[in-house]
Amino acid sequence: MTGHRRSPAHDATQRDQLHTHSGHLARIGRDIRDGRGLEGYAVFVTGLTMTVLGLTDAVSAPIMGAAQLLAISFLVFHSITPNRHRAVDVLAGREAFAPFPSLLPHARDLRIYGPTAINVVVHLAEIRRLVLARGGMVRIVVQKPDPIQLRHTAVQLDQGLDLDQTLTAAIRSLERCDGLPGFGYRLLPFNPGFSLVVVNAGDKDGYVIVEPHGFGDQAISDRMHLRITRSESPRWFAYWVDRFDAIWAASSDGEHASSGAKPGTDGETRSEGRLGSLSQPDAEQGVAG
């Protein structure tokens, strides 16, 4: 008897769900570790526990009522206390973020700048399947391989990076994607001093991740990261979206790039072509790299 064989699409869906769930669990773990949202988690656990105990008749009705009243009182008290944001709630290291592929299932508009963007480039096959194949748009900007500017950037970035080799591999992979519907890449003449990821810039669930490069870091993990959502800070969310647009405007097409995701005057995109095979540079970077 032949067993049931799962399709590649089914396996891919399961992988996507696993990435999403692992991202949620990692966020909950960081929240509890850093003391964020503890009241919400406490009320959830209390409610879940009392529900289970109530279904099994393990506690009496008066105890159930008292627990519910306590939970409501706790939430009301929290709602009237000042909401003071701590620096740790805004500033984070690389370890505070889930793996890059975990954001792709929800991304419809992905805009990225990094000197090499290698941490994104190694996931181009997943970007194609999870964003572009669903009609999304992807724009990636990396630094132009100008020897003089690269020497300056190499001094600024972490010392463990072979910038020239990594950038060459990244551009080679981006060129193989050139012309894919919804995809475009460009080259910026110099490094502005930060990496940037913009997700769903025009939607209410949009957010940006900003990574200042510092100077002479020992490793990529030394860098600070900021995650800003549209709902939390419309002003600074819009600011960083505009910064990417300025980077895109100041960049030029690659040697073989048609920049398929060029925005038109009406905000739509134009592109054509197919995706070739991708190389997988062996390097670790931050959010964008």
What is the predicted pLDDT for the residue at 287? 61
Beta strand 137-143 with 109-113: parallel, antiparallel or unpaired?
A: parallel
Please give the DSSP secondary-structure letter assigned to residue 227: E
pLDDT in tens, 246-264: 999 999 987 644 444 444 3
Token digits for 153?
């950037």
For residue 86, give Cα distances in angstroms to 16, 32, 89, 90.
32, 14, 5, 7
Of 207, 175, 242, nearest to 97 by C-alpha is 207
What is the predicted pLDDT for the residue at 279? 39
Q: What angle do CA 27, 202, 175 make, to 5 degrees?
A: 85
What number is the average pLDDT over the span 56-60? 70
pLDDT band, residue 100 (cuts 50/70/90)? confident
Token digits for 258?
């048609």
pLDDT band, residue 84 (cuts 50/70/90)? low
Q: What is the dihedral of CA 10, 13, 15, 18, to 10 degrees?
A: -130
d(Cα 182, Cα 167) in Å, to the nearest integer?
23
Match 């072979």 to its residue by tokens. Answer: 162
What number is the average pLDDT over the span 9-17? 58
Maximum mean pLDDT: which of 48-62, 227-241, 254-268: 227-241
d(Cα 96, Cα 52) in Å, to the nearest integer?
33
pLDDT band, residue 62 (cuts 50/70/90)? confident
Q: Report the chain's mean pLDDT, rounded to a whole number.
A: 76
Of 136, 59, 74, nearest to 103 by C-alpha is 136
pLDDT in tens, 37-48: 666 677 677 777
pLDDT band, residue 49 (cuts 50/70/90)? confident
CB 15 within 8 A of CB 6: no
pLDDT band, residue 285 (cuts 50/70/90)? very low
Of 203, 214, 239, nearest to 93 by C-alpha is 214
Q: Looking at per-residue confidence, does 87 or 153 come out higher?
A: 153
pLDDT band, residue 186 (cuts 50/70/90)? very high
Token digits for 185?
């890449």
Q: Which of 79-88, 135-144, 195-204, 276-285 has the lowest mean pLDDT?
A: 276-285
d(Cα 79, Cα 204) in Å, to the nearest integer?
24
Q: Looking at per-residue confidence, does 11 or 278 come out higher?
A: 11
pLDDT in tens, 147-159: 999 988 888 886 6
Q: Looking at per-residue confidence, does 131 or 278 come out higher?
A: 131
Q: Whole-model pTM?
A: 0.64
